[in-house]
A and B are shown apart, each in its own frame.
Chain A
Amino acid sequence: MEISLKLSRNSGAAQHFELDVDLHIPGTGITAIYGASGSGKTTLLRCIAGLETQAQGRVRIAADTYQDSHIFVPAHQRKIGYVFQEPSLFPHLSAEQNLQYAQRRTRTPLAEKQLQELLEVLAISPLLSHRPDQLSGGEKQRFAIARAVLSNPDILLLDEPLSALDTDRKREILSYIESLQQFLAIPMLYVSHAELEVARLAEQVIIMDKGHVKTVGAVNTIFRQPLSDLSGDCTALLQGQVESVEQDYHLAKVKVDSSDIWVASHNLSPGATVRLCVCARDVSISRIQETQSSILNKIASEISQIQTGDEPGTCLLTLACGEQRLFAKITRKSLDTLGLATGQKVWAQVKSVGIVQ
């Protein structure tokens, strides 16, 4: 999949926006497009879908060339599924008719069995007869996703599909997208500015900044660098294996390189591979191993980098613990009081750990 696009737009006097990207996107799995708002993520998706007619460049998806210097295939002829930021079901049609709208207009409709599976995966069968205004935000978005899939596209574009939802609904839809990903053989481009979503879903990450591609890489490598210049909170992604579960305490011990990290056991079983998320603001630093503290997770690590934080008076430490990276956001005062410097061995005390997979 090849995408190389240029779009320059003057909206208003001061707002000049320029998109200039050159990308090769793998033909499978979820690729996240990540970046602050205004970085051109949505515009990029709209260009790929053919919704921005001013864009210049080349778009090739699967075997089809949708755009080059001679061709511009209009949106309705591109085999591209698009899930918009806000759920946008047609209000004059029932939920089921919304799905049929897509089915009727594709040349290659999904087989009945696949359709049933899709409804199953997104858990929307019982809601088919409802009207859109009778559905919750999360339900609407699940229908919007199903509708986009039913047009049987070669690629599915998702533009921050969770941003209009509350935390619980987000988590719910994320797991639906995950199961969808296992069920569909098509690649997805997932736009987000939430690190947790990216960390959880994506295999590959494209980081955008001011209309340009800043970094492209696998999710594990991307999250070893601090991304705090893009969003307020810097998150580290750790990969480990569940070693044991202590039922009494509802805790599971996860081996991450040479360190042990305790996490809520949920339904983890020994041997499972998990991705853990650690927010920089949940990590504090101690020069000695605290034994008189309620904090369970203390990880021996080495300071590899010290940067100025995004808020005044703070700084961001990059900590190396084996192959993995952690980030800690501490005050400059603590930095000076403790006399921290790069190369120093410290204990990272982790207050909370999120499980992403």
Chain B
Amino acid sequence: MLSEADITTLWLTLKLASVVTVLLLLIGTPVAWWLARTHSPAKGIIGAIVALPLILPPTVLGFYLLLFMGPNGAFGQFTTALGLGTLPFTFWGLVVASLFYSLPFVVQPIQNAFAAIDERHFEVAATLGATPVDRFLSIALPMARPGFISAAILGFAHTVGEFGVILMIGGNIPGETKVVSVQIYDHVEALDYASAHNLSQLMLIFSFTVLLFLYSFQKKWRLTGMNYGN
């Protein structure tokens, strides 16, 4: 059914989504914590920047990232100086782009979960001798667990479905940057509808299963931040 090239793209897509999800949970948690608790006037700006990929056309995001990571871009010069070369058209280029692209899908559920925690719990913990770090680890993280589950699933699924950004900065290199969505596009362009069907069905089942899973357990796990489409 699936050709070897298809399987390579599937494998690459899963690898990309996994790496991005793990990195985003690490990056997104402090950002979400700050956004949930700060009274700083910068909150509005940072919040808007984080949410930007929700409405920005992926090609626009991809275009700027291409410039940013290219040989004349700030980030491109930085990576070149480190001896890493430039990132566009590499796997890690896709990872960096996906971090921006999926950021709101990870930050917002966690942020909502943090914001929903009653300040009283932190005060109680403080009077029981818990330091600020201890309070974050022993109260905030476990109480926001449903938010983390939503964030991980949404971040992963959203990265799997990425197309426009990837096309802009990753192109079409098999085994390096060619993900499932791009492969499907290629199949259709080559009028190979049968192969396009095979992969598309797989994606359809995957997406449906993820959402079914999320919505079925939504109540049980009190999942938050499920109010985004893709």
Using a CB–CB cutoff of 8 Å, the interface residues on chain A facing chain B are 49-51, 74-78, 80-82, 84, 86, 88, 90-92, 101-102, 105-106, 147-148, 151
Other A-B contacts than A105-B130, A105-B134, A147-B128, 12 sampled, CB-CB below 8 A, are A49-B127, A51-B123, A74-B126, A75-B126, A76-B125, A82-B124, A82-B127, A84-B120, A88-B124, A102-B128, A105-B129, A148-B127
User: In this complex, what residue of B is CB-closest to A105?
Assistant: B129
Give a binary string over B36-71; 1 marks a CB under 8 Å from any A CB, 0 the rest. Answer: 000000000000000000000000000000000000
Cross-chain contact A151 with B128 (CB below 8 angstroms): yes
Q: Give 22 pairs: A residue, B residue, CB < 8 Å, sorted on A.
A: A51-B126, A51-B127, A74-B126, A75-B127, A76-B125, A76-B126, A76-B134, A80-B127, A81-B127, A82-B124, A82-B127, A86-B120, A90-B121, A90-B124, A90-B143, A92-B143, A102-B128, A102-B129, A105-B129, A106-B128, A147-B128, A151-B128
Question: Which residue of A is nearest B144, CB measured?
Answer: A92
Alpha-carbon gap, A76 to B129, bound state (A): 4
CB distance from B129 to the nearest CB of A (A): 4
For residue B125, which residues in chain A have a CB less than 8 angstroms away from its CB?
Answer: 76, 90, 101
User: Which residues of B sit under 8 angstroms from A50, Cβ to Cβ?
Assistant: 126
Chain A residues within 8 Å of B143, by CB: 90-92
Please count how many residues in chain B sit with their CB below 8 Å of the partner chain's CB atoms. Answer: 20
Interface assignment of B198: CB less than 8 Å from any CB of chain A: no
Q: Which residues of B contact A101 (CB under 8 A)?
A: 125, 128, 130, 138
- Interfacial chain B residues near A151, Cβ < 8 Å: 127-129
Q: How far is the CA of A147 from the CA of B131 in the complex (A)?
A: 17
Which residues from chain A contact B142 at a C-beta distance below 8 Å?
92
Which of B121, B125, B128 has the most chain A CB atoms inside 10 A of its CB? B128
Q: Mark B122-150, 1 if CB is under 8 A from A, else 0.
A: 01111111111011001100110100000
Contact: A106 with B121, CB < 8 Å? no
- In the docked arrangement, what's the CA distance between A101 and B124, Å? 11
Which chain B residues lie closer than 8 Å to A92 at the CB level?
Answer: 142-143, 145
B178 to A: closest C-beta gap in Å: 43
Q: Which positions 149-171 of chain B face chain A at CB distance < 8 Å?
A: none
A84 lies within 8 A of B124 (CB): yes
How far is B138's CA from A51's CA once the two chains are assembled, in angstroms?
19
CA distance A195 to B142 in the complex (A): 41
B161 to chain A, nearest CB (A): 32
Q: B128 touching A105 by the CB < 8 A rule? A: yes
- Name the 6 nearest CB pairs between A and B, nearest first: A105-B129, A75-B126, A82-B127, A102-B128, A76-B126, A92-B142
**Chain B residue contacts of A147, Cβ below 8 A:** 128
A147–B134 CA distance with the chains assembled, in angstroms: 17
Report the bound CA distance from A82 to B125 in whole Å: 10
Distance between A155 CB and nearest chain B CB, rounded to angstroms? 11
Q: How far is the CA of A78 from the CA of B129 in the complex (A)?
A: 8
Q: Which B residues touch A78, using CB under 8 A?
A: 127
> Which chain B residues lie closer than 8 Å to A49 at the CB level?
127
The listed residue with most B CB atoms (<10 A of its CB), out of A51, A74, A92, is A92
Interface hits, B187-211 → A, CB 8 Å: none
* Minimum CB–CB distance for B132 against chain A, Å: 8
Residues in chain B near residue A74, CB distance under 8 A:
126
Nearest residue, chain B, Cβ from A103 = B128
- A74–B125 CA distance with the chains assembled, in angstroms: 12
- In the complex, chain A residues whose CB is within 8 Å of the CB of B131: 76
A81 and B143 alpha carbons, distance in the complex (Å): 23
Q: Which chain A residues lie closer than 8 Å to B128 at the CB level?
A: 76, 101-102, 105-106, 147-148, 151
Report A-chain residues with C-beta under 8 Å of the C-beta of B121. Answer: 88, 90
CB distance from B110 to the nearest CB of A (A): 16
Closest partner residue, chain B, to A75 (CB atom): B126
Cβ proximity bits B80-118 to A, threshold 8 Å, 1 near / 0 not: 000000000000000000000000000000000000001
Compute how far the CA of A77 lies from the CA of B129 in the bound complex, rounded to whole angstroms: 6
Interchain nearest-CB distance for B106 vs A (Å): 21
A76 touches B130 (CB 8 A): yes
> What residues on B are CB-neighbors of A84 within 8 Å?
120, 123-124
With both chains docked as a complex, state the minimum distance between the C-beta of A1 and any C-beta of chain B, in angstroms: 17
In angstroms, how far is the closest chain B Cβ from the Cβ of A282? 38
Bound form: Cα–Cα A18–B123 in Å: 22
A residues less than 8 Å from B145 (CB atoms): 92
